[in-house]
């Protein structure tokens, strides 16, 4: 994924998340995935989310060849040396996310090829969505899984696929915080 093209926060300006309420941290699916999607799923649940498996399924549910991938600033990084763009901060979080445009076909095979030493990144991504916004994946720092929003057909495909392990959730379901 040396083909990362850093981008500014405007590419994620469409992402509207539910307010977190009195706790002040994300505790429900709609705190990390926009409620505007038709259906939702939780993928993973082990020590590492199978991003490659999720993308193999979801690539059939987008018309875009590119997408946006993001990492929390400071998560698995050594300061993300030289990141040239401003960072995006979701309204529900107290930390910044570094965003980059990526070729989705490359991402499917390379997202697990960590570390991305060019930028000092050594962890799984935080989020990924195609340019057409057909689906949205978000892996919260304190959760051992990722959550996906998408059209009914995309979520059906995830649920039916042998990997990654997936279960249907609703936007109001609790996150499994650890």
Per-residue pLDDT averaged across 143-163, rounded? 93
What is the tens place of the pLDDT at every residue in 25-66?
778 899 899 999 999 999 986 667 788 889 999 999 999 999
pLDDT value of residue 29: 93
**pLDDT tens for each residue of 67-82:** 998 887 765 444 455 6
Please tell me the chain's helix, strand, coil percentages from 3-state DSSP, rounded to the nearest 5.
20, 30, 50
pLDDT tens, position by position, 93-146: 777 888 889 889 887 666 655 444 444 455 678 889 999 999 999 988 767 789
Strand intervals (E) in 15-144: 39-44, 66-72, 97-103, 127-130, 135-138
pLDDT value for 151 = 97
| pLDDT score for 1 | 44
Give the domain ranges of the chain.
Answer: 30-169
Task: Classify burial at 130, counting beta carbons within 10 Å of its beta carbon; exposed 0-12, middle 13-18, buried 19 or more.
Answer: buried
Q: Mean pLDDT, to the nearest integer, of 136-157?
A: 90
């Amino acid at each position: 994924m040396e083909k990362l093209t850093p981008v500014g926060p405007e590419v994620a300006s469409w992402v509207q998340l539910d307010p977190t309420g009195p706790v002040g941290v994300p505790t429900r699916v709609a705190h990390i995935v926009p409620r505007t999607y038709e259906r939702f799923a939780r993928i993973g649940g082990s020590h590492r989310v199978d991003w490659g498996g999720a993308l193999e399924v979801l690539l059939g549910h987008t018309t875009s060849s590119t997408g946006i991938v993001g990492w929390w600033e400071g998560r698995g990084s050594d300061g993300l040396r030289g990141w040239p763009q401003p960072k995006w901060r979701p309204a529900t979080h107290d930390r910044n996310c570094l965003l980059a445009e990526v070729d989705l076909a490359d991402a499917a095979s390379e997202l697990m090829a960590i570390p991305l030493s060019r930028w000092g990144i050594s962890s799984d991504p935080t989020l990924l969505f195609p340019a057409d916004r057909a689906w949205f994946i978000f892996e919260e720092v304190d959760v051992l899984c990722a959550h996906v929003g998408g059209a009914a057909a995309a979520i059906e495909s995830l649920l039916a696929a042998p990997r990654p392990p997936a279960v249907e959730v609703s936007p109001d379901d609790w996150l499994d915080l650890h």
